[in-house]
Structure 1
Amino acid sequence: MNIFRLAAIATLLASLSACTTYNYTSQQFVPKDPGKLNHLKKSASTYQFDDIEYIQADGAVSRGISIHKPETNFTVLYFMGSGVRVDANGSYIAKVFTELNANFISFDYRDFGRSDAPKSNVSLSDLEADTLALYDHVRKITKGKLIVHGHSFGSFVAAKLASLRPLDGLVLEGTGTSAQAYSDNMIPWFAKPFITIKLDQELQSIDNRIALKQYKGPIMIINGSNDVQTPAATAHDLYLALDKPNKRYEEIRDAGHMNAMSKPETLKAYREFIQTN
């Protein structure tokens, strides 16, 4: 039994000994899913919601959601973080883009969420090939400005795409320099002297600084000041490493890893980024 579990038990016992009463209503007790897309349909009633799919070269089926309406300002192709999927998180993620008067398209990664694959062992090269094909497909069917937005793990996916295609704009949110730095940030500071993370060769090759070296388009990096998973310092390191004039860095106060886009200052910066590029 570790010290954290002991502390939790001690806290529980203390609360029991104090005869504390907790009151619950049926509304609190019944489970709710705040990420369900039906919730967004109610608040974004002017938008049309379409289930979409794309068949990859090897037969894998990439499935996702397209949220759109006529006369929007731009379209966002959004690459989610690891473990994040359309049905569980899509409403929360897409909501801010409807507030920006943007169309929103996102796919679940292969063999995850809605998407299927002919094999269960998925490599990074598979994801890179999927990403490239999905971008080319979306670019063909999309009119106007198409912004590629990657969050967390998706920021590495988006950066790799930027090394292969000229983009109208690139937004990296909750990002960092490399897969090694990303992994090291998963270890709490007090455990770092005792734990070493070793990545395989494929993971070691992931580095946003290298991927973005030849990228010529506009880029904005967004990071929450309270982000523990991808600290703002590593995102700022990436920003400083980019030798290009059309770059922008936004550190969002009182924001963590998942909620930076919900802040008014982020939406303001996003609008300015779109209007000036």
Structure 2
Amino acid sequence: MQNTIKKMITVAMISMTMLIISGCTVRLSEESFIANDKEPVPFTAEFTQALQQAMPNHLITPLSLEASDHVKLHGFYIDNPNSNTTLVFFQGNGMKIEPYSLSALTTLSTLNTDIFVMDRRGLGASEGQPKIKNIIADAQQQLDYLHQQYQPEKVILHGYSLGSFIAADLAKNNKIDALVLHGSATNADDWVYEKTPWYMAPFLSLEMPDDFRKANNQQVVAQYYQGPLLVIAAENDQEVPPELAEKLFAASQSANKQLIMVPNADHGGMLDNAATMYRYQAFIFAL
């Protein structure tokens, strides 16, 4: 996620006297919240080589897909020759594959699965203007392409931060083998109010597009998805309070669910913890 809500709340705090008198409305728009580049930047040969060097036993294949509205989306398929399981990785807000995902992808490769990852529209190498609806539609198209092109035996959807809402939405209507929610909130309302100082909460109201409210991870795990679930949260996460991960875990109706609360980690450092990756690998092995 990003600092949009922080900025809004800071402005609101400065105007505290007016808030007490008249109340405050935080307006959360797709344009202000979802990170967007002015124009796409193709992957460099140096970055592709760096991926290959980091994962010498994997085959790195650049991907190019055309969305239903002819927007070009770009990413990679990272093929582990000893695996028929594919992990589909949905990144956080503003997290482009190049340069920000080399470390994460290298770490995820230790899970011994194939990896499918795309820059979402409007970010990194991919074209277009992002909206919640078209990001989710793109993700469905990517999942369909994965099945048609690579025919994996098992599919794991891993959503990090904002990407968790994409992964969870796909889990509602697709047969998958596991869902991983990493640095995830329950829903936009909970996230904003958890980030709001207690003394401002009585004066705060939140306006957002309907599509934001429909993206509800807690509702998905409580009502739609009952398969294997792994929730990964950071003890010191300042972006998404870990209490929201605990709330997600409690709401889940899955008979096979695990919560990893990573000690001494922040929003970006969860996968750097060796014990976390050991438990993640065990979770996948047991599927």
How does 1:116-265 map onto structure 2 within 5 Å?
116-117=127-128, 121-140=129-148, 141-185=150-194, 197-212=206-221, 213-265=223-275
Equivalent position SS for 2:176: coil
Displacement, 1:195?
A: 6.1
State whether residues 166 and 216 of structure 1, in contact with CA within 8 Å, keep that contact through their aligned partners in structure 2.
no
Give the SS at the match of 1:122.
Answer: coil
The amino acid across from 1:161 in the alignment is L
> Which of 56, 66, 73 is the aligned partner of 2:67?
56
Aligned residue for 1:46? 57
- 8 A contact 1:75–1:142 mirrored in 2: no
TM-score of the superposed pair, with normalisation by structure 1: 0.79
CA gap 1:87/1:185 in 2 versus in 1, 3 angstroms: farther
Distance of aligned partners of 1:73 and 1:137 in 2 relative to their CA distance in 1, 3 Å threshold: closer
Distance 1:112 1:205, change over 3 A: same
Going from structure 1 to structure 2, the CA distance change for 1:243 and 1:254 (only over 3 Å counts) comes to same
CA contact (8 A) 2:159 2:182 kept: yes
Q: Is the 8 A contact 2:76 2:117 kept in 1?
A: yes
Q: Aligned AA for 2:113?
A: A
Alignment partner of 1:88 is 2:99: yes
Aligned-residue Cα RMSD (Å) equals 2.3
The percent of aligned pairs where both chains have the same amino acid is 26
Report the Cα distance in structure 1 between the residues aligned to 2:116 and 2:194, rounded to whole angstroms. Answer: 29
Superposition deviation, residue 197 in structure 1: 4.3
Checking the alignment, whether the CA contact within 8 Å between 2:172 and 2:224 is kept in structure 1 is: yes
Query: Structure 1 CA distance, aligned partners of 2:195 and 2:106?
Result: 28
Are the counterparts in 1 of residues 227 and 255 from structure 2 also a CA contact under 8 Å? Answer: no
- Equivalents in 1 of 2:52, 2:189: separation in Å? 39
For 2:226 and 2:203, the matched residues in 1 are separated by 41
Q: Within 2, Cα distance between the matches of 1:185 and 1:108?
A: 29
Name the SS for the 2:173 alignment partner.
coil
1:162-221 deviation digits (Å, cap 9, x = unpaired): 001111111010012101223345557787677654323222232112223221321110
Distance 1:43 1:124, change over 3 A: closer
Partner in structure 1 of residue 283 of structure 2: 273
The AA in structure 2 aligned to 1:269 is: R
* CA distance in 1: counterparts of 2:99 and 2:115, whole angstroms: 16
Contact (CA 8 Å) 1:185, 1:228: kept in 2 or not?
no
Larger Rg belongs to: 1
CA shift in 2, pair 1:85/1:192, >3 Å? farther
How many correspondences in the alignment? Answer: 241
The separation in 1 between residues aligned to 2:139 and 2:130, in whole angstroms, is 13
Q: 1: CA distance between counterparts of 2:54 and 2:134? A: 36
Question: Which residue among 86, 105, 109 is the counterpart of 1:75?
Answer: 86
Query: Once structures 1 and 2 are overlaid, which stretch shifts more, 198-207 or 245-254?
Result: 198-207
Structure 2: segments with no counterpart, 5+ residues = 1-13, 15-45
Hey, what's the Cα distance between the residues in 1 that align with 2:62 and 2:199? 45
Per chain length, whose mean CA-contact separation is higher, i.e. which structure has more relative contact order (CA < 8 Å, sep 6+)?
2
Residue 254 of structure 2 aligns to a residue whose secondary structure is: coil
Structure-2 residue corresponding to 1:11: none
Residues 70 and 180 of structure 1: CA distance in aligned 2, closer, same or farther (over 3 Å): same
